[in-house]
Amino acid sequence: MAASRPCLQWAGRTSIPWTPYKQYNKPLLALQIRYYARNKPNPPPKPRPYEPKPEKPLVSSTPETSPDAAPPPPPQFRREKGRKGVWAPKTRLAVGVVFIGAMAYSMLTSPLQLTEAPSIADRDTIAKRESGVTEKSPMRLRMEALIKEKQNEIVAALQELDPSNKFRTDTWTRPAGGGGISCVQQGGHVFEKAGVNTSIVYGTLPRPAIAKMRVNHKAIDPDVESLEFFAAGLSLVLHPQNPNAPTVHLNYRYFETMDQDGKCNAWWFGGGTDLTPSYLYDEDAIHFHKSIKDTCDKHDRSYYPRFKSWCDKYFHIPHRGEARGVGGIFFDDLDQEEKDQEQLFSFVKDCLSSFLPGYLPIIARRKDMPFGEREKQWQQLRRGRYVEFNLVHDRGTSFGLNTPSARVESILMSLPLTARWMYMHEAEKGSREERMVGVLRQPVDWV
């Protein structure tokens, strides 16, 4: 069997022929070994171990030649060549001790700087986030939760009347605390303008405002210079396209004053709802008032006649000598002298729940009735009266516009999209317009 064939081609050379091992003689073998040793390929270089490059000094060791260069340190502070260790250790230690001592003395003798305490609005926000709103929560948080819930219900029901024209929803905040949600629909098939707003206001009452409020609320401390307050309300105004369909207004609110810790020291509820038709349909007025009366009678049978009379007086336009509409109910400043807080909260809650059953049947049967230019013109004239009352006499509009950081767009949401004023206009004798004016000048007991 032939011996293994180590080949010289591996060395890149083939000039010396291969000779079997048995034929080798010593001189020839030595010659082949020397030839291979001279011509064998170089082995691959071994990898060199990693050696990090020495860092360059931040400051050159070479003396500066610039005239602006700093002079070299004195001999006693120069580091000897090749010497290792901290430069001037004693000097550094002495400077450090003096610096740290001065800092410690400053911290101990300076007055303590406290961060600003969270506001009542901040504390309420934390409470809602951590614990939610329950029956044990402060009334201001429960009222806020109620009006937001009812806003969603009302907007959803109104949207079903005109699905193609979506409500625009704006959420806004106030720098001093609080904010609101404005839901507005304009130029739709059913409503020319409809707004359903909630507002939450935290603020501070100055001394003149405190003195004015104390007339109706003796629990307010008369000796303080300022008072924290909270106000929450749901306000709604619907102006239909069809002159045969009545405008409706609703507002229910809660107000309280607090000390610096957020503890309530005075509170009250207010609100109401009223109907403002351009053309009178007795059955509409009767249905609207009966719905309100049934709700009032569940809590106190004296409420409806008392609050209906209050509404007729409040929504009177003195310079015109007529009411804004056919009325409803209105009340304000209901506090512990009226009933306890839970009873009044339950009453306001039921009033809000009664709105949709009281108004939806009316708008459903009037929104598609035929009308002409004469009816539309009369509707615009009646809306002019609506604007006059809201801008001149309404306390809610005045309070809102005079509140710091007020959102004017939400406050003036109650105004109609269009209105009209005509010089010396008189309703035609025996017309439906004249009958409407007669009822406005002399309020009627509808139920």
Catalytic residues, by residue number, are 249
Query: Where do we find the tokens 């004798």?
Result: 429
262: left (phi over 0), alpha (psi -120 to 50) or beta: left
Specify the amino acid at residue 35.
Y
Which one, of 317, 318, 288, lies nearest residue 304 by Cα?
A: 288
DSSP string, 85-97: S-SSHHHHHHHHH
From residue 23, give the alpha-carbon distance in Å to each of 1, 14, 20, 51: 14, 19, 6, 53
Which one, of 180, 197, 200, lies nearest residue 124 by Cα?
A: 200
DSSP string, 393-447: T-HHHHHHHTSTT--HHHHGGGS-S-----TT--PPTTSHHHHHHHHHHS-----
The three-class DSSP label of residue 151 is: helix
The three-class DSSP label of residue 182 is: strand
Beta bridge partners of 280: none
Residue 387 has a CB neighbour count (10 Å cut-off) of 16
Please say whether the dihedral angle defined by the alpha carbons of residues 412, 414, 418 and 419, taken in this order, is positive or negative: negative
Q: Are 257 and 204 in contact (CB under 8 A)?
A: no
Instruction: Enumerate residues 6+ apart whose C-beta is below 8 A from 109.
Output: none
Tell me how far apart the alpha carbons of residues 360 and 157 are, in angstroms, rounded to a whole number. 9
**Any idea how long the chain is?**
447
Q: Are 405 and 176 in contact (CB under 8 A)?
A: yes
Residue 317: exposure state from Cβ atoms within 10 A (0-12, 13-18, ≥19): middle
Specify the amino acid at residue 338.
E
Cα 218–chain centre separation: 34
Q: Are 275 and 281 in contact (CB under 8 A)?
A: no
Tell me how far apart the alpha carbons of residues 340 and 345 are, in angstroms, rounded to a whole number. 9
